[in-house]
Amino acid sequence: MELISKIIKLKAVVDVKQSLFSGQSFLWDNYDHTNNYYMTIIKNTPLIIRQLSDNTIEVISNSMNVDSIIIDEFINNYFSIEVDVNKIYSENLRKLYPDVYSRLNGYYPLRILRQDPFETMISFMCAQGIGMHIIRKQVSMLKKFYGEKLSITFNGDEILLYAFPTPQRLANADLSQLSFCTNNNKIRAANIILAARSVVDGSLDLNILGASEIPLAQLRNTLCQIRGIGFKIADCIALFGLGRFDAFPIDTHVKQYLGTWFKSTTAFRSLSPANYLILDAEARTFLNPDFAGYAGHILFHCWRKEIKKLQSF
């Protein structure tokens, strides 16, 4: 099929590279940083995204379904363009933590992506007490072993891409073979199989969870019913997979910056469930509660990049 290309003008300034690789997405393992090409599969559609300027991107595909993906509304929504990043911090941050606030100047083009809920759930179940490098490797192997293989021809080269596995494929996966993809962790593999089965049998409906306006605590508790999902991963699923920008995941990095930048004494205690909720409430005093997680992700990225000197890609 013929290659389709469309130039899309975004309604805000976006840094595509930083948005895709700030650590929220483990899916962008196919890229060409030199020429600004990023390749992935969204809704079973192979896509190449290329940044042309601050607020224009080119989207290229050869798929049948491409019409529903390449429209401006979808892309603007994917990059959560409607969120005004000037409003995600409260006045308290500007007043009480001006040094932290000034650090964030360069990060306004960093957008949170609205990603597929199931993909987000399984990916973050692979992210427990382990480095980003291994997390990406696990997701990459899951796709290669259990995902549908799709290709796109670009500049004369056929590029192979693997879609994220369907719930059905993971629900029927063999435990020992799946654990080969989960860093040899059999507990994690078993949890993923159970989670996939609960999606297949309908006891967990992520689309309904995301569409409904249920309170964040209730949403979190629902996700925590699944083995292998605690507060942190539940909040990640809500934030990155369900578009709940009020969800504020607290991991080891967030815990660190809450202690160092915001002088939280709780942040120097162990991250027990009780302390997690205390930190969550504290963060909402200097972040706009409705966008606490959105702001938290920018702070997270800033902390990793500038203080910990970590590479996300």
Partner DNA sequence: TCCCAGGCCATGT
Partner DNA sequence: ACATGGCATGGG
Q: Which of 6, 144, 197, 253 binds DNA (CB under 7 A)?
A: 253
- CA 72, CA 149: separation in Å to the nearest integer? 26
Q: Using CB under 7 A, which residues numbered 272 to 291 contact DNA?
A: 272, 274
Q: Find the part of the chain contacting DNA (CB under 7 A) among 12-20, 62-70, 246-254, 280-288.
A: 246-254
Q: Which of 11, 33, 94, 186 binds DNA (CB under 7 A)?
A: 186
> By CB under 7 A, is residue 34 in contact with DNA?
no
Nearer to DNA, 60 or 195 (CB): 195
How does DSSP assign 45-94, residue by residue? EEEEEEEEETTEEEEEE--TTHHHHSSHHHHHHHTTTT--GGGSB-HHHH
Q: Find the part of the chain contacting DNA (CB under 7 A) among 87-95, 97-105, 178-186, 200-208.
A: 178-186
Radius of gyration of the chain (CA): 19
Q: Which of 227, 284, 305, 307 binds DNA (CB under 7 A)?
A: 227
Q: Using CB under 7 A, which residues numbered 137 to 156 contact DNA?
A: none
Q: Which of 84, 131, 155, 205 binds DNA (CB under 7 A)?
A: 131
- CA 95, CA 79: separation in Å to the nearest integer? 29
CA angle 42, 202, 211 (to 5 degrees): 55
Asked whether the CA dihedral 50, 51, 52, 56 is positive or negative, the reply is positive
- CA 152, CA 171: separation in Å to the nearest integer? 28
> By CB under 7 A, is residue 236 in contact with DNA?
yes
Residue 53's Cβ-side half-sphere holds a number of Cα atoms within 13 Å equal to 8
Nearest partner of 126 among 146, 141, 148, judged by Cα: 141
Q: Which of 233, 238, 267, 287 binds DNA (CB under 7 A)?
A: 233
- CA 115, CA 238: separation in Å to the nearest integer? 10
> By CB under 7 A, is residue 22 in contact with DNA?
yes
> By CB under 7 A, is residue 24 in contact with DNA?
yes
How near is the Cβ of 147 to DNA at its closest, in Å?
A: 20
- Residue pair 78/27 in contact (Cβ under 8 Å)? The answer is no
Nearest partner of 57 among 114, 14, 107, judged by Cα: 14
Q: Find the part of the chain contacting DNA (CB under 7 A) among 52-60, 177-185, 200-208, 284-292.
A: 177-185
Q: Find the part of the chain contacting DNA (CB under 7 A) among 67-75, 90-98, 150-158, 266-274.
A: 266-274
Q: Which of 234, 267, 287, 298 binds DNA (CB under 7 A)?
A: 234
> By CB under 7 A, is residue 85 in contact with DNA?
no
- Residues contributing to the site for DNA (CB under 7 A): 22-24, 127-135, 179, 183-188, 224, 227-234, 236, 249, 251-254, 256, 269-270, 272, 274, 297, 300, 304, 310
